[in-house]
Structures are given as C-alpha cells and as structure tokens.
Amino acid sequence: MAQLTSMYNFELHMSNTWQDLRSIFIYGVIFSLLFALHIVFAATNLEFLFRTVALMLSGMIFLCGPCLVYLEKSKSKYSSVYNLGIIISCPLSIGLGWAYGEMTTSIIMVLFPLLTLIIHYTIRKSFIGYTYGLK
C-alpha cells in the first residue's frame, strides 16, 4: 500500500511540474517553429517572409519575460516566470547578435544581452500602469 501511495504522490508532483513548465514549453514550441520557418524561408529566397519571421523571433527574444507571463495562467507565478524569461533571453540574445553580426563574433553579441536586460528591467520597474505583479 505504501508503494501505491508514493506512486500517486509522484504523479501529482509530475502534474505540478507540467503546470510549472507549461508557459516555457509553449514559448519553446512557438520559437522552434518560427526558427524552422526562418531557415526554410532563407533557403527558398523568400526575403519578405524571412524578414517577417526574423522580426518576430527578435521580438520574442527581447520580450521573453513578458511573453512567458502572457502564457502563464497562474498570477502567483508571474514574477518567477518573468525572472526565468530574463535568464532564457540572455543566451538567445547572444545567438541573435551572432545572426545579426553575419554569423561572426561581433560587438552585437555583447550589446544584445545588455539590451534585453535593460528592456526587462525597465518593464519590471515601470512607473506607468500595472506590471502583472512584477514589482
């Protein structure tokens, strides 16, 4: 009987883990699909579609925290999800800087992570409007 109880607790723990990672998973799926599309559009010389998807990816990277908050259902998790978005956006912005720097190491690889940190900090400390309980 004790084994059955421990299995039941494990299932509950797993469902809570899924709920904790739901917004990150959805963000990752959307990001991955857009990333794959941008590669396809670049390979097929569809310049307008490539630039449109690249712009969407850039926005998702620079606004990762707000995107995750938007996808999160539980208001009590907004702050932790936002902080996780900041952490996720930093390496993504380094990759974005590499892409915008024509796939070479450049100063943009340093500037983009700084820019994403400034954007996230500004949103958190915003004096106008409601910032989803981030303060």
Residue type, 43: A
When divided into structural domains, the chain yields a total of 1
The reply to whether 135 falls in a domain is no
In a domain, 102, yes or no: yes
Which domain covers residue 20, as residue numbers?
Answer: 2-124
Residue 26 domain-assigned (yes or no): yes
Domain presence at residue 81: yes
pLDDT of residue 43: 97
Domain contains 133: no
Which 8-state DSSP code applies to residue 104?
Answer: S
pLDDT at 10: 47
Helix (H, G, I), strand (E, B) or coil at 30: helix
Asked whether residue 111 is assigned to any structural domain, the reply reads yes
In a domain, 134, yes or no: no
Residue 108: how many CB atoms within 10 A of its CB?
A: 19
Question: So what's the pLDDT on residue 1?
Answer: 46
Residue 129 domain-assigned (yes or no): no
pLDDT tens per residue across all 135 residues of the chain: 455 554 554 444 545 666 778 899 999 999 999 999 999 999 999 999 999 999 999 999 999 999 999 999 888 888 889 999 999 999 999 999 999 999 999 999 999 999 999 999 998 887 666 665 665
Q: What's residue 78's pLDDT?
A: 86
Q: Taking the CA of residue 129 as centre, how many other CA atoms within 13 Å lie in the half-sphere pointing to its CB?
A: 5
Residue 59 confidence (pLDDT): 97
